[in-house]
Structure 1
Amino acid sequence: MLERSPKPVVEKPTLHESAALHVTGTATYIDDLPEPRGTLHLAPGLTRIAHGRLVSMDLSAVRAAPGVITVLTAADIPGQNDTSPIGAHDEPLFVTDSITSEGQILFVVAAETRAQARAAVRRAVVETETLDPILDIDTAREARAPCAVPGRTMTRGDAEAAIAAAPRRLSGRIVMGGQEHFYLEGQAALALPGEGPEMIVWSSTQHPTETQAMVAHLLDVPANTITASVRRMGGGFGGKETQANQTACLAALVAHHTRRPARLRLDRDDDMVMTGKRHDFAIDYTVGFDDDGKIHGVDMLLACRCGWSADLSGPVIDRALTHADNAYFYPAVRLRSLPLRTNTVSNTAFRGFGVPQGALAAERVIEEIAFATGLDPNTVRLRNVYENGQLTPYHMTVEDSITAAILTDLARRCGYDTRKAALRASNAKAAEEGRVLRRGIAMTPVKFGISFTATHYNQAGALVHVYTDGSVQINHGGTEMGQGLHTKMMQVAARVFGLPQSDIRLTATTTDKVPNTSATAASSGADLNGMAVLDAATKIRDRIRDFAAERYNADPGTIRFHNSEIHMETGQGTLVESFAAVVRQAYLARVSLSSSGFYKTPEISWDPATGRGHPFYYFAYGAACAEIVIDTLTGEYRIDRVDILHDAGLSLNPEIDRGQIEGGFVQGAGWLTMEELVWDKKGALRTHAPSTYKIPTAFDMPRVFNVALLEDVPNRKATIFRSKAVGEPPFALAACVLFALSDAVASLDDHRTCPRLDAPATPETVLACIERLRAGKSATGHGTKIEVPATDADPVRDPVG
């Protein structure tokens, strides 16, 4: 391994590699690529019913429309009409008979202009037979509509007996909605046919290798004829891990048939209707505990709305199960999952990948115990957090638990106890004076397992070149979606060679340079690809060092790469040569200045059938405290203050990591408080555009937002320079906002009743919860349901079928 010093770039807040390009508007995304001569523009024809059968489809008027070059359907696919990412074979690119969701693809139009293609789609005459759709978890459970992925059970000890024997018991339910990814750059692809079957597909994808494989299967050609490439995405959040495939496949299919370049950028409305979202969950729980707030046993059933196909629902639900303990030890536990098929979009990966849903249930259990015992929730948390040596529900030993230390430190830093006492006094005075504003505060931790539960994904490759002028080019299998992964990879190479980051250039992620890549997901991008870059760069550096030792008669052990120079001890004393000069000499001596690198995560194993193993290399920890104020007449609220203390190990780039923490937290708060997906009774998505789907804005940011990284706590595992992943864990910290709202609502009956506030806790949901408490009714845990009347046509979107 490299020496700890010098460290010219790593662990310093260097500038994001595309920052200047972003600010000046010159960063290139898929739709910014120069349009090759003869490019065709595409538009998909979509189903507009949620459940039924395709009876007939007359596309003659579409083909005759101005500018239309071709119209393709399932009959035009040379290979497999399948875009299922996990081999379930239940996700056709084109509908041929059964319609199982609004927004499935019937056909694709290729025209000379985008406007012509979109206009032609509306000329289709489609006849369908409509069946009653299954749209929500409760209906799916009643209809016994299991998804293609199996349910799982994780057990340790006898949960039923432990709960029965516990001094106190309670049961409840927490419901949480889905979430739209709302990436700024929508799904987009450009396919360019080459010689014979060769094709380049530029795609806004988090998983270029899977896109390559999907296109190859669709066209019935070998993978080595398809190159998938992406320089950057304008956001992904998991929404481009599998959902990018259908856009790329449509472009590739048209390019294959016409031998012309084909471009598709989905309209925002179509994008939101077609693509999967975060999984909704309804989690039933029973817990046994004692008067001191100590948990004796937990039993949970996690029911999940998967949508019309399997997609990644299996892995998402598995990860929700593995995090239904969050940071707490359950002495006896049974966790079961119930994946359900519905006639809605096929839900998919989303930042956190099931962890926020599972962790939220754990935090509700803690909240329930606090209300039942009269203890402070933070006291209950500290009495139940993991101690090293204890087993998780999946029988992995926790070896690095620091939750108690983080919670205690954050409480001290933010003055939790003092502020809570002040808020209680303020609320009591507000009640006496008849004022409507109430305040709440809550603190929640996260323990987030880092690694893919699909063990084979825990590998990465890289390719590094050093040129004769001393400049360096790197390529790796990860993708950049704004999270700063490429910047960190440049920092790794810069540290290895002792160069400034400006001497490192990073090229687009492409399958013809680094093959068989894993998705950039599971917060593993820097861990995996950083080690692969380190491996490749170290090989070259060691060759240069061995050459320098021979060329200058220097002791290899004294050679250091620092400040664009190579320092060495020779018989005549210290010799300093520029990095570029030594590299040039090495080239003339025929020393290889290029190398591939590879890394696979050690120490991990997972058996999904038994729900046991060591699926995570390590855990990332953090805690957050939120203070809010609500208007009890309207249910409206604002977040006044948030304090976060997060564990990033020895951060590769503190400023990028702080940005990830802030962004992840706000996105999590949006999911829990305002982002609401609404389908009407016919199964049409009504929140399908920025005008109908609300995400956080600058006005929703906490008025005071303090973010600190845990200092001087290196990762105990041998990760890249002892750093820790930071992309997804902060998302789950936003749970404190929901429980701060709950704390404020509970003040209306002097904290005697757990409000059981569901998510998203919109003002309507908060107000309904307030009214229940005022009426002296116990919360049901079902939240508020908004019914939107179904109409025959959407005034914004033009129906096709």
Structure 2
Amino acid sequence: MTAHQSNLTSSRISGGVATDRRHDSAHKHVTGEAVYIDDMPEPAGTLHACLGLSTAAHATIRSMDLSAVRSAPGVIDVLTGEDVPGENDISPTGKHDEPVLAVGKVQFFGQPIFAVIAKTREQARRACRLAKVEYDELPAVFDIAGLDPLSDRLVTPGLTLKRGEAAAAIAGAPRSLKGRMAIGGQDHFYLEGHIALAVPGEDHDVTVYSSTQHPSEVQHMVAHALGVPSHAVTVEIRRMGGGFGGKETQSNQFAAIAAIAAKRLGRAVKIRPDRDDDMTATGKRHDFVVDYEVGFDDEGNILGVDFVYAARCGFSSDLSGPVTDRALFHCDNAYFWPAVKAVSAPLYTNTVSNTAFRGFGGPQGMVGAERVIEEVAFAVGKDPLEIRKLNFYDAAGESSGRGVTPYHQPVEDNVVHRIVAELEQSCDYAGRRREIAAFNANSPIVKRGIALTPVKFGISFTATHYNQAGALVHAYTDGSVHLNHGGTEMGQGLYIKVAQVVAEEFQIDIEQVKITATTTGKVPNTSATAASSGSDLNGMAAQNAARQIRDRLTAFAAEKYEVPVEQVVFLPNRVRVGNQEIPFADLVKQAYMARIQLSAAGFYKTPKIHWDRDKGRGHPFYYFAYGAACSEVSIDTLTGEYVVERTDILHETGRSLNRAIDLGQVEGAFIQGMGWLTTEELVWDDKGRLRTHAPSTYKIPLASDRPKIFNVALADWSEAFEPTVHRSKAVGEPPFMLGMAVLHALSDAVASVAEHRVCPRLDAPATPERVLMAVERVRKVASG
């Protein structure tokens, strides 16, 4: 049989939707062939930039002597804020509160105040150290623990969510309690740090290669900084070595500086800060202080809650408004609060402006909810899992009266009961709970703990206008297909998933679909690849474009071969037209000869969503994603050191586009979430200096920190409630919150030293030091 005949008789395409396909660049990642911006051949004469950072946290700049910097070996130019030709601002929200380079005043230790452009990166770095800057220091605030969230300075207005009368419900409840929880921040710690390469063109044009999750925003910010129209700036990115939200807005500054220098000097300019400068000068996950008050009955039914979520936001607004909004959107996690009030307080501090991070405030909101559940469980003397199940949203949804969120959106797709029940059974929660109790009774030093925690996470940008995407698809006359869309690839497998969607539409092998770099020159006005919406938005936009071409091919074939359109059927790598079959490539060639358009721009906007922030009401999420994790830990009560013995996860991804990719996302998200809640600790000193600014002082989870036994499963019955792309569900952010199971297992182990009579109130990150202090505190409270 010839290859041609084999192709015609094939019954299945290679790599379509629902195929376990490896990441398109996986082999390149492990061999080093994957090209990142720093791997790209540099244009002749490329110069290198380095940031000069402030050494005061809050001060006016009395004088800045850069003469030694300018005369240093290899230095070509030095830029200050006065040299920005357009607007000296890169605020993503339009508040004009974040300069490219600070002028006259600095507001955090490490704020960029000048940039050196030199022949080599090393020369630029060395020259930066020669600056002589004198400051008149101003009062500074670094920590939010002592601030009043209702009266101290905010970087942007807070939000209030309210349903029912929380104060009255708490006052009328048989029992009540109040408390406070501190939740730490987190550095993105991507393998590839920030980087930008700007290449000047003729007229006002500049091409910027930027490691960014939001090419369109970088395009607009660079244009504003240069004082040119957006059409003069092209931004391109093939892949990032990690993003996690840190490259949604933070890449703006590096791209702007590279572009300003490139246009000023007429030469390509690259900027790649070292890890210390990157960690010092760029934003992180917001740390929170959560004040809570809860009313409940003797069974553990929660009757009313009152939350205040205060966040350390830094010196500018950045994305702190929507981040703290989303914290409130998830202050319920999977639980129905009969009466609820939740207030956010995005507080100003003289620290780097915090930004997006996987989950975008949702994790902090959920951790606050889980602390309330835990407090109630200890107060009534029950297993926290029992209190969790008692307070779940009803499976019946809105009709039961227990299916409406604090922002008045009905929960219509609730599967948390089934997820938790299946996981509880498959991991033998009850049996292991008994075994752990027996172990702890006979182990005076090492104690074990277990916890099973759920996740309900809303999917969509809460800024409604971001819920749109575009794509561009070309079919060539040899049957190959070119794909471009607005989504960015940061290791999460977005490119391969969207390519699978296109391959499925045309019924061609995935090898026939060319995945091309994201560029503002092909698909304009795109949204950030964030909010777990990459596949949802870009997959639907690409599907829309592919269907336009497929429909044209169908109409052409029906007319040419004089058959009804119903008799034109796309089969694997071929098209059945009436009673004959034509190779896909042949049909495309025939269509071209008949002057049929073989290119299409696709578009998609998420339906049904709306949000009125002033009223605190709406339908901000298209659907919810659900999951649950059960973790078991052991702690050394003499040192506070601990080991994650086992984790079982059941997560739902709808009809997965690619289970292999989704499993990897769940595993990685859990480990990253676990790291946030256990070992990753950000520390600022009394001068506002970040002391944990390198791998030597900041501990991310290692391979050896993973659970000894790690069982991860996707719910094979799951299907999206709404008509998403092939009924799949988002998987980028939701599994991050599964890491809460480790925090609560540690709490359970700590509580065992006093036979679970005292709530440990374990703050995050639960470092060994905090675990040890919690053990001593619980013992002290229990004894006296």
User: Do they fold alike, i.e. is TM over 0.5?
Assistant: yes
Once the two structures are superposed, the pairs formed by residues 604-623 of structure 1 within 5 Å of their partners are 604-623=609-628
Contact conserved, 2:758 with 2:781, CA < 8 A, in 1?
Answer: no
Return the letter of the residue paired with 1:183.
Y
Q: Residues 523-672 of structure 1: matches in 2 within 5 Å?
A: 523-569=532-578, 574-672=579-677
Which residue of structure 2 aligns with residue 360 of structure 1?
A: 367
C-alpha displacement of 1:7: 7.4
Shift of residue 379, structure 1, vs aligned partner: 1.2
1:394 aligns with 2:407: yes
Following the alignment from structure 2 to structure 1, what is the Cα–Cα distance between the partners of residues 564 and 388?
Answer: 56
Aligned to 1:521: 530
Shift of 1:12: 1.4
**Which of 95, 107, 126 lines up with 1:100 in the alignment?**
107
Correspondence for 1:679 among 677, 681, 684: 684
Code of the residue aligned with 2:213 in structure 1: it is: Q
In structure 2, distance between residues paired with 1:12 and 1:232: 23
Q: In structure 2, do the counterparts of structure 1 residues 296 and 143 end up closer, same or farther at CA, with 3 Å as the change threshold? A: closer
Query: 501, 504, 517: which is aligned to 1:508?
Result: 517
Equivalent positions of 1:154-169 (< 5 A) are 154-169=161-176
> Does the residue aligned with 1:711 lie in a helix, a strand or coil?
coil
Answering whether residue 471 of structure 2 is matched by residue 462 of structure 1, we say: yes
Which of 495, 499, 509 is matched with 2:508 structurally? 499
Between 738-747 and 373-382, report the one with greater CA deviation.
373-382
Partner of 2:228: 221
Name the SS for the 1:699 alignment partner.
Answer: helix
> 1:470 and 1:189, CA in 2 relative to 1: closer, same or farther beyond 3 A?
same
CA distance in 2: counterparts of 1:37 and 1:140, whole angstroms: 53
The 5-angstrom pairing of residues 39-78 of structure 1 reads: 39-78=46-85
Counterpart of 1:410 in structure 2: which amino acid? L
Which of these residues, 296, 301, 314, is aligned with residue 308 of structure 2?
301
Instruction: Measure the CA separation in 2 of the matches of 1:642 and 1:675.
Output: 19
What is the correspondence of 1:260-299 to structure 2 with a 5 Å cutoff? 260-299=267-306
- The whole-number CA distance in structure 1 between the counterparts of 2:93 and 2:571 is 46
Where do 4+ consecutive residues of structure 1 move more than 6 Å? none
Counterpart amino acid of residue 679 in structure 2: M
Q: Is the 8 A contact 2:176 2:296 kept in 1?
A: yes
Q: Deviations over 1:130-177 (max 9, x none)?
A: 234211112343995422211111111111111111111111111110
Among 132, 144, 151, which residue is 1:137 paired with? 144
What TM-score does the superposition give when structure 1 sets the normalisation length?
Answer: 0.94
Match of 1:415 among 404, 428, 443: 428
**1:308-328 deviation digits (Å, cap 9, x = unpaired):** 110000000000001000000
Q: CA deviation at 1:397?
A: 0.9
1:790 maps to none
CA distance in 2, matches of 1:749, 1:677: 30
In structure 1, C-alpha distance between the alignment counterparts of 2:607 and 2:241, rounded to whole Å: 32
Q: Partner of 1:486: helix, strand, or coil?
A: helix
The equivalent residue for 2:4 is: none
Paired position in structure 2 for 1:695: 700
Q: 1:707-737 CA deviation, whole Å, 9 max, x = no partner?
A: 1111122101010000000000000111010
CA separation in 2, counterparts of 1:643 and 1:554? 55
1:745 CA drift (Å): 0.5
* Mapped partners of 1:7, 1:470: distance in 2: 14
Residue 224 (structure 1) shift: 0.4
Of 751, 755, 758 in structure 1, the residue corresponding to residue 760 of structure 2 is 755
Give the Cα–Cα distance (whole angstroms) in 2 for the partners of residues 689 and 461 of structure 1.
38
Contact 1:469/1:580 (<8 A) preserved: yes
1:706 is the counterpart of 2:715 = no
Distance 2:600 2:208 in 1: 26
Deviation at 1:123, TM superposition (A): 1.2
Change in CA separation of 1:160 and 1:323 when aligned onto 2, cut-off 3 Å: same
> C-alpha offsets along residues 171-199 of structure 1, whole Å, 9 cap, x if unaligned?
11111100000000000000011011001
CA contact (8 A) 2:85 2:226 kept: yes
How many residue pairs match? The answer is 767
Q: How far 1:778 moved relative to its partner?
A: 9.9
- Once residues 563 and 593 of structure 2 are traced to their aligned partners in structure 1, the CA distance between those partners, rounded to angstroms, is 19
Decide which of 416, 431, 446 is 1:437's aligned counterpart.
446
Shift of residue 342, structure 1, vs aligned partner: 0.5
User: Deviation digits for residues 745-779 of structure 1, max 9, x if unmatched?
Assistant: 00000000000000000000000001111222699
CA contact (8 A) 1:678 1:685 kept: yes
Instruction: Indicate whether 1:453 and 2:462 are aligned.
Output: yes
Q: How many Å apart are 1:23 and its aligned residue?
A: 1.8
Check if 1:208 corresponds to 2:215.
Answer: yes
Q: Aligned partners of 1:777 and 1:91: how far apart in 2?
A: 50
Asked if structure 1 preserves the Cα contact closer than 8 Å seen for 2:757 and 2:782, the reply is: no
- Paired AA for residue 439 in structure 2: S
Q: Which amino acid in structure 2 is aligned with residue 376 of structure 1? A: D
Q: Residues of 1 paired with 2:453 and 2:570: CA distance?
A: 44
Aligned residues: percent identity?
60
Q: Which residue of 1 aligns with 2:489?
A: 480
Is the Cα–Cα contact under 8 Å of residues 13 and 509 in structure 2 kept in the other structure?
no
CA distance in 2, matches of 1:150, 1:641: 42
Would the aligned equivalents of 1:565 and 1:576 in 2 still touch at CA under 8 Å? yes
How far does the alpha carbon of each residue in 1:595-642 deviate from its partner, in whole angstroms, 9 at most, with x for none? 000000000001112211100000000000000000001000010100
Indicate the residue corresponding to 1:724 in structure 2.
729
State the alpha-carbon separation in 2 of the partners of residues 575 and 414 from structure 1: 54
139, 147, 156: which is aligned to 2:154? 147
**Amino acid in structure 2 at the alignment position of 1:350:** F
Q: What residue identity is the alignment partner of 1:449?
A: G
Which whole-Å CA distance do the structure 2 matches of 1:628 and 1:180 have between them? Answer: 25
1:111-145 CA distance string (max 9 Å, x none): 11111111111111111112342111123439954
SS at match of 1:53: strand
Structure 2 unpaired stretches of 5+: 1-10
* Stretch deviating more after TM superposition (686-695 or 368-377): 368-377
- For 1:621 and 1:267, locate their aligned partners in 2 and report how far apart those are by CA, in whole Å: 38
Tell me which of 103, 116, 126 is aligned to 1:109: 116
User: 1:142/1:150 Cα in 2 relative to 1: closer, same or farther (>3 Å)?
Assistant: closer
- Corresponding letter in the other structure for 2:325: D
Contact kept in structure 1, 2:155 and 2:315, CA below 8 Å: no
| Aligned amino acid, residue 438 of structure 2 | A
Supply the distance in 2 between the matched residues of 1:591 and 1:276 (Cα, whole angstroms): 50
Deviation (angstroms), 1:529: 0.5
Q: 1:422 is matched by which residue type in structure 2?
A: E
Q: State the 1:6 CA deviation.
A: 7.2
Distance, in Å, in 2 between the alignment partners of 1:272 and 1:560 is 54
Query: Which letter maps to 2:694?
Result: A
The question of whether the paired residues in 1 share the 8 Å contact of 2:149 and 2:347 is answered with: no
Amino acid at match of 2:198: A
Say whether the 8 Å CA contact 1:633–1:767 is kept in structure 2. Answer: yes
C-alpha distance in 1 between matches for 2:783 and 2:174:
22
**CA displacement, residues 362-418 of structure 1 (integer Å, 9 cap, x when unaligned):** 111111111111122111111111121121100111111111111111100100011
Q: Is the CA contact 2:635–2:746 (under 8 Å) kept in the aligned structure 1? A: yes
**Segment drifting more, 717-726 vs 550-559:** 550-559
TM-align CA RMSD: 1.3
- In the superposition, the TM-score normalised over structure 2's length comes to 0.97
The one-letter amino acid paired with 2:334 is A
